[in-house]
Amino acid sequence: MTTTSTNRLRTAEQVGEQAGAVLREIGRAVVGKPDALEHVMLAVLAGGHVLVEDLPGLGKTLLARSFATTLGLDFRRIQFTPDLLPSDVTGTPLYDQRSGEMVFHPGPVFTHLLLADEINRTPPKTQAALLEAMAESQVTVDGETRPLADPFLVIATANPVEYEGTYSLPEAQLDRFQLRVRMGYLAAREELAMLRARIDRAAPEAVLERLAGPDDVVAWRAVVERVEIDDDLLEYAVALVGATRDHPQISIGASPRGGLALVQLARARAVLDGRDYVVPEDVKGLAVPALAHRVSLRPELWVREMSTDDVLREIVDSVGTPTTRRTAAASS
């Protein structure tokens, strides 16, 4: 295991190097998905949660487990099913015959990294059991509030094409995810490389090295909080969010939480690049993953098979990108 001391103040450049090493290590297991891995890493740095929406068999569970292993985080997995109860997520008090008292038995949510697998296969009441945990890093059971681990990260998976026996996530819950990730199929050469690597290692999965720990992740997030962002970039983020509310093809636009997520992810993007300041490309490049899952299209667009990603890309192209003092200086 190689970790760094958390007792000293770190720079954005140092955190960028450490996070880059984590991504390269995870890339040994999750092949051909650099953008998806980078987006999850941004959520780790920004202190948010991730919705991985894609078809079965594309490595969603492997992605979550690989991040837990390489970051040295406690890992729990919940397989969401129609009969899952809220107490199966949060835990429940049980009677202890020896003491004659009710003793709380924590559920799987009491961990660092929680994989909520196929979250859309469980009823809304159980889905809602995660709302308080995701928003406030705590759960309340029988009137008593219990804090969760620090850091706490939810990676939820959902199958976007199977609707039988599923329950769509309500807007209030989708809004709790800082960004949505889609992995997609591998290119032919990448799929060939994956098959060859599986044969060569003579094991189902690559053995990853632990490169960090919970304290490191907390320290990295402190560095993100020191990243500077100019007012014109904040105005740019507000313009992007506002455009989702005024767009004729969108019935429900992004909430203010969407703007907060976009700005925080942009700051994390800067740190991943080793910078302590945000540039316009940080905001622009993250608008779709940060905002697309927070908007609802008008029903008539479903027939035309338009996606929220398509509409968000149109918005990004239509909203003018500002030129900051730093970008102007760099181009001169």
144-186 pLDDT, tens digit per residue, is 899 999 999 999 998 776 555 677 787 878 889 999 998 888 8
CATH of domain 10-212: 3.40.50.300
d(CA 190, CA 208): 19
d(CA 129, CA 169): 12
Instruction: Indicate the range of 20-29, 69-78, 321-330 predicted with least confidence.
Output: 321-330
Instruction: Give the pLDDT confidence of 121-141 residue by residue, as tens digits.
Output: 888 888 888 888 998 999 988
Cα angle 173-174-175, degrees, rounded to a multiple of 5: 85
Architecture of domain 226-321 in this structure:
Orthogonal Bundle (1.10)
Taking residues 298-321, report their average pLDDT: 84
Q: Is 23 exposed, middle or buried (0-12, 13-18, 19+ CB in 10 A)?
A: middle
Evaluated on CA atoms 239, 245, 246, 247, the torsion sign reads positive
Instruction: Give the pLDDT confidence of 64-113 residue by residue, as tens digits.
Output: 999 999 999 999 999 999 999 999 999 988 888 888 788 889 999 999 99
Average pLDDT of the chain is 88
d(CA 32, CA 34): 6
Domain with CATH 1.10.8.80 in the chain: 226-321
Tokens of 308: 């929220």
Strand 144-147 with 101-106, pairing: unpaired
d(CA 175, CA 293): 8
How confident is residue 1, by pLDDT bands cut at 50, 70 and 90?
very low
307 or 272: which carries more pLDDT confidence? 272
Kindly report the pTM of this predicted structure: 0.90
Domain with CATH 3.40.50.300 in the chain: 10-212
pLDDT given at position 324: 67
Instruction: Indicate the range of 80-94, 184-198, 221-235 predicted with least confidence.
Output: 184-198
Cβ atoms of 148 and 133 within 8 Å: the answer is yes
